[in-house]
Amino acid sequence: MNKQHVLIVEDDPWLAEQHARVLSRAGYEPTITPHALAAIQAIDIVEPAAIILDVLLTGSTAFALMHELQSYTDTARIPIILCTNIAEELELEVVAPYGVRRILDKTSMEPSDLVTALRSVLV
C-alpha cells in the first residue's frame, strides 16, 4: 500500500524533524519545507494528502500560502492542519474557508496529536 504524503511547512528545523519522525512512525511519508514559497513548489511534486502548517513563517505568512492554495481547485481540496504557537489567537470557523480543518496548539499538544488530527481529516 502506498504511503500518504504529508507536507510539513515549519521553519524550525528541529521541530519539523520531530514532526516528520512522528508521522513516519505512523506510516505517513512526510516532506519538510521551511517556508511558503518552498511549500508551493513541493505541493506540485509530492501532491500531499494533507498539509501541517505553521502560521508564523519566515517570509510570507501561512495566510499567504492558504490564499494561494485556495486559488486552484486541486490544491483547495487539500486539508490543512495549523500547528502554531498562536492557536489561542485563531478560531477554526474563521480560518476554515482557507481549507483549515484542525488547529493544534504547539504549546500544549502531545506529539501523537499530530497523527490523531491527520487521521481525522483523512478519513
Partner 1 sequence: MKREQGMRDNMASGGVLADGLPSLIAAAHELKSPLSLVRQLSLLLETEDLSVDERQRMLRQITLTSERALRLTNDLTRSVRLQDALFTLEPINPKQLCEEVVHELTPLFTAHGRRITLAPRTHPLLLVANRDLLRRIIVNFSDNALYYAEGDGPVQLQINAFHEGQMIRLGVRDYGPALSSDMWRSLQTKLSTAPQPIHARPQSSGLGLYIASQFAEAMNGSLGVTRHADGATFYIDLHASQQLSWL
Judged by CB under 8 A, does residue 14 bind partner 1? yes
Backbone phi, then psi, for 103, in 5-degree steps?
Answer: -125, 125
Q: Which listed range, 44-52, 72-80, 91-99, 115-123, lies at the site for partner 1 (CB under 8 A)?
A: 91-99
Judged by CB under 8 A, does residue 47 bind partner 1? no
| Residues numbered 65-84 forming contacts with partner 1, rule: CB under 8 A | none
Member of 29, 35, 49, 99 binding partner 1 (CB under 8 A): 35
Nearest to partner 1 of 34, 48 (CB atom): 34
What is the crossing angle of helices 62-70 and 36-46, to 10°?
40
Backbone phi, then psi, for 70, in 5-degree steps?
Answer: -70, -15
Q: 63 and 82 in contact (C-beta within 8 Å)?
A: no
Nearest to partner 1 of 47, 76 (CB atom): 76
Nine-digit cell string for 110:
502531545
Q: Which of 50, 63, 56, 37 is nearest to 106 (CA)?
A: 56
Q: Which of 32, 11, 12 is nearest to 20 (CA)?
A: 32
Judged by CB under 8 A, does residue 89 bind partner 1? yes
Residues that bind partner 1 (CB under 8 A): 11-15, 18, 21-22, 25, 34-35, 55-61, 63, 85-86, 89-91, 94-95, 106-107, 109-112
